[in-house]
Structure 1
Amino acid sequence: MSSRQNILSGSPWEDRVGYCRAVRIGNLIEVAGTVAIVDGETVRADDAYAQTKNIIERIAKVLEEAGASLSDVVRTRMFTTDISKFDDIGRAHGEFFRDIKPVTAMYEIRKLVAQEYLIEIEFTAVVA
């Protein structure tokens, strides 16, 4: 049986809710839904492109900690509160995944955990 590696981000929510940023079992890595760090300057509450880019850049580091990279991503699931931002979200996603081409889906949902978040992304990676 493969061992389990939990990758924690240090968020207080991990203990409170009972989750971690990512789990690796064998060659499979699942990454929890991740939102951007909205700082009001480089990543604003109204900028879906910057939020998407921020999420993917941060998850690249999580994958590295798990012994993988963005090139190992086989699926992304994107949840947005404003589907009219599709082009901005897709442009940022494409900058990272244009050549990798994981399967993906984008869903419009009513709300995320805080009003400033326009997008949340889940990732699945398989290390070859």
Structure 2
Amino acid sequence: MSKSNRHNVSSGGAYESVFGYSRAVRLADDVHVSGTCAPAEHEHSDAYTQAKAVLDVIEKALMEAGASMEDVVRTVVYLRDIDDAEGVAKAHLERFDAVRPASTLIQVTSMLRPWQRVEIEAYAKVS
């Protein structure tokens, strides 16, 4: 695939330039959204609220790549505390109830910031 078919999406996050990554990348009909955590204004929010904010960032990246939440075929959810699974699942269900993407839930020991409770990756196929 030629570079001209690649579209990188930036959310302007500070770590994009530090780590050298894009918020999302579209190649042909495939859109890959990087692992996404809630913005800093959600530092004191619970996991449900953080997950909703994460999904908002993912939706914006998908839109910039010419896709939508309805195009998502897979998500990967990382939790620092498995006890947050119920709240994060509620946010995920609210956004994907009609779509029902394949999904994996993984507990991790830490995240970049100690207040971050959830990180979500998404993969979409534009039809």
Given the two structures, how large is their TM-score scaled by the length of structure 2?
0.93
Corresponding pairs, count: 125
Counterparts of 1:57 and 1:9 in 2: how far apart (Å)? 12
Give the superposed CA RMSD. Answer: 1.2
SS at 1:88's partner residue?
helix
Percentage identity across paired residues of the two chains: 38
Cα distance in 1, alignment partners of residues 50 and 115 from structure 2: 10
Residue pairs, 1:1-12, within 5 angstroms: 1=1, 3-12=5-14
Give, in whole Å, the separation in 1 of the partners of 2:126 and 2:77: 21
1:30 is aligned to: 32
Partner Cα distance (1:22, 1:88) in 2: 25
Q: Which runs of 4+ in 1 moved over 3 A?
A: 43-46
**Match for residue 85 of structure 2?**
86
1:115 aligned partner: 114
The runs of 5 or more residues in structure 2 that have no matched partner are none
Alignment of 1:1-128 (within 5 A): 1=1, 3-39=5-41, 43-128=42-127
**Structure-2 separation of matches of 1:48 and 1:98:** 19
116-125 or 8-17: bigger deviation: 8-17
Deviation at 1:117, TM superposition (A): 0.2
Structure 1 residues without counterparts, runs of 5 or longer: none
* C-alpha distance in structure 2 between counterparts of 1:14 and 1:46, whole Å: 23
Question: What do residues 57-103 of structure 1 show as CA deviations (whole Å, max 9, x unaligned)?
Answer: 12111111100100000000000000011110100100000110000
Which secondary structure does the structure 1 equivalent of 2:93 belong to? Answer: helix
